[in-house]
Amino acid sequence: MKTVILCGGKGSRMGAKTEKIPKPLVEIGDKPVLWHIMKIYASQGFNEFVLCLGYNGEKIKAYFGENNSEKWSIEFVDTGLESSKSERIQKIKNFVDGKNFFLAYGDDLCNIDLKKLLGLHEKSKRVATITAVRVESPFGLVESNEKGEVVRFKEKPKLNHWMNGGYMVFNKKIFGYLGEGELEKEVFEKLVKEKQLMAFRHEGEWKTMNTLKDNIELNELWENNKAFWKVW
């Protein structure tokens, strides 16, 4: 079963880190974040990858040409510099076989059980299943009583809201929904209207790498042997 990973974004919020390399090659430890994502899949038995390239895509291809000690099967597809997520997925239609395929964003790390995700998708028989993760508050929360006494302080708690965590399964019918619209807007909204979108609720850990601060925090977790996504 193929795993498609979106690797085409510019990562402009990473500052100088992405001036010469694409965001998926920004390192955590001594390996690119893309390698970590692929390792999550491969460690659970899914080692066939299709990488949707864009900004500085040739550098991703060169990296794995020199560093594929894992012996993964990797196909590289140039999906354009300015393509939307929806357009990138449409361009790899001929590279996926079988009934279903995984789709992942190139900057999210998670201790997900991929077989449970796939199991829910297959049981539901819907077109798409996303992994829903809890939103973390960017602020600490203060709880006080009527006297004004602080009774509890929570540092950046998880809220009772869910968001797309970037680990998905699509049936090949998804290609009939893709086009010029955005994946998480027009495409998902249409799937919702047709009751063809499922959510796999992941109660474990998840973190994205959107900014330099995120990268620093992920490196600290790795260096201190607290990398929750290291499921291998």
> What would the pLDDT profile of 118-130 be if each residue is shown by its tens digit?
999 999 999 999 9
3-state secondary structure of 14: helix
State pLDDT tens for residues 28-87. Answer: 999 999 999 999 999 999 999 999 999 999 999 999 999 878 989 999 999 999 999 999
**Local confidence band at 143 (pLDDT 50, 70, 90 cut-offs):** confident
Alpha-helix runs per DSSP H in 53-113: 57-67, 85-90
Q: What integer best gives the mean pLDDT of the chain?
A: 93
Q: What is the pLDDT of residue 102?
A: 99
Q: Which residues contact 85 (CB under 8 A, 6 or more apart)?
A: 6, 182, 183, 184
pLDDT tens-digit map of 102-123: 999 999 999 999 999 999 999 9
Domains belonging to the chain, first-starting first, are 2-132+163-223 (3.90.550.10)
Residue-by-residue DSSP string for 155-183: SSPEEEEEEEEEEEEEEGGGGGT-SSS-I
> Could you give the C-alpha distances from 30 to 21, 25, 27, 72, 219, in angstroms and in order?
15, 10, 6, 19, 9
Task: Look up the pTM and report it.
Answer: 0.91
